[in-house]
Amino acid sequence: MSCQLVKAHPVGRPVRWMRVLRLCVAFCLLSFSVLAPVAAQPRGTLALPADTLPPVSEALVRHYLARSLSVQALNYWNASVAQRRTLINWAADAGMRMAGRTGGWWSTPNSDQALHAFIDTLQRNVQLMHARQPDIVVQGCIFELVEPHVGNLTVPNRLRAAFGEDTLALRQRRFSFANIVYPEYHDLSNSSYRWGDSPPGQAPGVPDMSRSEAQLWFYYCAVLQLDAGCEALHFGQIRLIDDAAHDPGHRAFWGLLQRIRRYARTRNRGFVLCDAHTHGEHYDPIPAAPLPDSVRQLLFDFHSFPLRPVEADTVRAGTHAAYLDIDPWGNPGGGIYVRSQGGRAPGGWLCRHLPAQAEFDNGISGTPGKPGQWPLVWGLDEISWFANQPSAYRNRWLIYAQARVRQLDPATYFQPAGGRGVSLQSYARYHYWATEAGQAETIRAIWAGETTAEGARLLLIGPSAP
């Protein structure tokens, strides 16, 4: 009987199948042992090799832009703990996906202690947001201004080594303000590279990204914020910090962005969403012979730009309404609607218009109530104009803006303001908080899809004047 079985089933065949079965079982056990620690690790630790991570996809970018909120007020030193906690808890519960401008500073910290105190607060805010909603992407910022006291800050040796410096010959050094800013900063006849009216040496300057010291400064700021848990970085006004005359084809800046992206692949969830205030900028390896626009390499994962509300002609009635529209004059500083440039995104996908977000801008105001002071709205910066309206009008305008931005440009998303600085004395410490000003429920309803019908109605008639 046994001989017949052997003849019917050759000896090698059942042995081979048993080996296959054992290999399958072993592979399953090995896979479980490898993957199980990944799920158990803290969110800030990356277990998979960086080169195995997928690139940033268009779907990922749009997912976060669809529910992005500006929460810049979280990093103001004079915001109370209670205000921060209230905003964080509400925004997470409302469905916020991207916490815009949580990190970063406009005024350069004046000491290592001040800088790391700021980063510690940022890290704590990130932890609080992730405790409520782990999927939230927190955005840091690196702006287009650096102050002379950057020379008080120590350059970490590991970053100096990454940029090719000999850390043995010079054991420690501080940042050099003179080597970060444009050489033209010192030209008294040209104030384009200085901020304010102070003389060179005292006035803040604009970083020159063609210079290695400026790249080192930006990389330092990026590393600090990525280590604190940020997964997005905003780079301010790209055309200021990377003048094409100094960095043709954005070659130096592209190298910096790629260095930052490589570092981000070893942190958090392995990606970083980079943006700047621009309609679009490309990396051209050969500046004199750029590729066709359809395949040119885009610098950023998405673009950001001010909303650019247009003043409504209601001044005779004593009102100060505004609406959104495509800029008919082709103003280079006009709205981004249908003007976000396309090409090849850093994630490898091609697009006619890179996804973008339109946000409330802030800055210096002019003469309040007086029209025609573009880009101001009735003499105020955008967020101050909005915050200066009656609460009921603000709520209607948010619903209108959400619908109007999507109508004007399917590639662009509206970013409401959760916490932002304003130039209005009527707001305590010059801070607008959606949670205190009456807009929290409206923003939640917009994200929940509960305002679609009202938005369609407002598209036909516009929000009534305040």
Q: Please report the pLDDT score of residue 50 as a whole number.
A: 61
Q: Please report the pLDDT score of residue 8 as a whole number.
A: 37
The string of pLDDT tens digits covering residues 287-318 is: 999 999 999 999 999 999 999 999 987 654 44
The string of pLDDT tens digits covering residues 157-192 is: 999 999 999 999 999 999 999 999 999 999 988 888
- Return the domain boundaries, the chain: 57-144+207-461
Which residues are 137's β-sheet partners? 98
Contacts of residues 200-204 at CB distance under 8 Å and 24 or more positions apart, as own/partner, are 201/148, 202/148, 204/108, 204/145, 204/146, 204/147, 204/148
Sites in the chain below the pLDDT cut of 50: 1-18, 20-21, 23-42, 316-318
Q: What is the pTM for the complete model shown? A: 0.88
d(CA 397, CA 111): 42
d(CA 159, CA 312): 51
Q: Please report the pLDDT score of residue 78 as a whole number.
A: 85
> With 0-12 CB in 10 A as exposed, 13-18 as middle and 19+ as buried, what is 44?
middle
Question: In this structure, are residues 336 and 413 in contact, taking their beta carbons and an 8 Å threshold?
Answer: no
Q: Please report the pLDDT score of residue 193 as a whole number.
A: 94
Q: Please report the pLDDT score of residue 165 as a whole number.
A: 96
Q: Please report the pLDDT score of residue 43 as a whole number.
A: 57
Question: In this structure, are residues 276 and 232 in contact, taking their beta carbons and an 8 Å threshold?
Answer: no
Contacts of 306 (CB under 8 A, 6+ apart): 277, 335, 358, 359, 360, 361, 375, 382
| Token pair listed for 181 | 């800013």
Sort strands 356-359 and 310-311 into parallel, antiparallel or unpaired: unpaired
The string of pLDDT tens digits covering residues 350-382 is: 999 999 999 999 988 899 989 999 999 999 999
CATH 3.20.20 fits 57-144+207-461, yes or no: yes
Question: In this structure, are residues 156 and 222 in contact, taking their beta carbons and an 8 Å threshold?
Answer: no
Question: In this structure, are residues 270 and 53 in contact, taking their beta carbons and an 8 Å threshold?
Answer: yes
Q: Please report the pLDDT score of residue 77 as a whole number.
A: 82
d(CA 226, CA 238): 20
**Angle ∠(15,17,18) on CA atoms, nearest 5:** 65
Start-to-end Cα distance in the chain: 98
